[in-house]
Amino acid sequence: MKNLINIFFASTIFISASFAGGPWTQKKGIGYFKLSEWWITYDKHYTDSGELDPNITSGIYNTSFYGEYGLSDRFTAILYAPLFSRSLYNNEVSGTTGDTVQPGEAVNSIGDVDVSFKYGLTASGAKFPISATLTLGLPTGITGKGERGTLQTGDGEFNQSIQIDAGTGFKIGKTNAYFSTFAGINNRTNGFSEEFKYGGEVGAGLFNQKLWLIARLNGVESFNNGSEESTGNTSIFADRAEYTSYGLEAAFYITKQFGISASFASAFRGKIIAAAPSYSVGVFLDLSK
């Protein structure tokens, strides 16, 4: 169950990164920056058999910075930094006596930071761009906090992933649109299972590209090659979580470069993952415009 939180952080990355992400690299000296609030609360989860079970209502709230910056036309540096992360679970109150029988708890800290480097495998301006991204996941968050040792704002392990993105832009009538897809392998330490990640999204820019609507489908499949200890020890996250999720995002340019966005994502199948939607709102600055 602790892997839920891993997935939530992964979802955060997807949600934050995808609008500016895909196979497209930033031009040299150009960037995309986003400040967002992402949250999820859940009172049930998918179990290891993929069925739904209840749990104490828990929540995670991340205030994150996401930035892409073009080091060259084909080489982009990416930073995802949850500057403030709050993890909590509710009080358990007796329905018979009204007494609080198990008090809730919360912890606040910085979350796990991801540093990525994206390289354009095709020349800038290619009709079908392809890129490769190396992501280093740094365990800057905290784990094992609270009376039950389950409050955490990070996964407690270094991980590194390689991801290939491909996509293309096209028009639907006079409307600009794009499609992109990705697949990647996430190598995790501390006995965690490796993961295969995949996904895709389509987006369309309406009203002279002031409003972008984006639909996503993402998934994670576990190689189930982690150690037994990684599932039983509460001081580190369990692993072997899997899911397929869908999501929608709307991004609106208030000015030429500055805008606001809102999104949600939810898993419609999973193992060891929350059965609740996540939400995000944010402001962004797109210097490529």
Partner 1 sequence: MKNLLFLFSIITLLFTSCIKDDINDDFVEPTIRITTTPDTIIVGSQFQFDFAYFNNVGQRENINPTWSSSNESLLMVDQSGLATAIVKGAVTITVSYTSAAVNTSESFEVNIGEVLVEVPTAKSGRIATTSSYVLEGDFEISEESGKLIISIAENYSASTSLPGLFVYLTNNISTTSNAYEIGAVETFSGAHTYEIDGIGINEYSHILYFCKPFNVKVGDGEIK
- What is the C-alpha separation between 167 and 23, in angstroms, rounded? 6
One symbol per residue from 185 to 214: x for binding partner 1 (CB under 8 A), - otherwise; what is it?
------------------------------
Cβ closest to partner 1, residue 258 vs residue 268: 258
If residue 232 lies in a helix (H) or strand (E), which one and from where to where?
helix 229-232
Phi, psi (deg, nearest 5) at residue 144: 65, 30
* Residue 43 near residue 59, CB atoms below 8 Å: no
Rule CB under 8 A: choose which of 35, 202, 206, 248 binds partner 1: 35
Query: Is there binding between residue 81 and partner 1 (CB under 8 A)?
Result: no
> What is the Cα–Cα distance from 186 to 244, expressed in whole angstroms?
16
Q: Using CB under 8 A as the criterion, what x/- string covers residues 229-268 for binding partner 1?
A: --xxxx---x-x-------------x---x-x--------
Where does this chain touch partner 1 (CB under 8 A) — which range of 11-19, 36-44, 202-210, 212-220? 36-44
> Residue 21, interface with partner 1 (CB under 8 A)?
no
Tokens of 251: 């991004």
Residues 6+ apart with CB under 8 A from 163: 132, 133, 135, 182, 183, 184, 185, 197
User: Beta 105-109 vs 75-89: how paired, if at all?
Assistant: antiparallel
Residue of the chain from 30, 33, 41, 138 that contacts partner 1 (CB under 8 A) = 41
Rounded to an integer, what distance in angstroms lies between the CA atom of residue 178 and that of residue 170?
Answer: 6
* Angle subtended at Cα 59 by Cα 58 and Cα 65, rounded to the nearest 5 degrees: 160
How open is the CA angle 161-243-50, to the nearest 5 degrees?
Answer: 140
Q: Give yes or no for residue 33 binding partner 1 (CB under 8 A).
A: no
Structure tokens at 66: 């996401």
Min CB(92)–partner 1 separation in Å = 5
What distance in Å separates the CA atoms of residue 216 and residue 20, rounded to the nearest whole number?
A: 13
Rounded least distance, CB 99 to partner 1, Å: 8
Q: Between residues 166 and 220, which has the closer beta carbon with respect to partner 1?
A: 220
Q: Which is nearer to partner 1, 215 or 254 (CB)?
A: 254
In the numeric block, the tokens 């390289």 are attached to 119
Site string for partner 1, 125-154 (x = CB under 8 A): -----------------------xxx----
Decide whether 95 or 173 has the Cβ nearer to partner 1: 95
User: Residue 88: what residue type?
Assistant: L
The residue ranges that bind partner 1 (CB under 8 A) are 1-2, 35, 37, 39, 41, 43, 47-49, 51-59, 61, 63, 84, 86, 88-97, 100-102, 104-106, 108, 148-150, 228, 231-234, 238, 240, 254, 258, 260, 272, 281-283
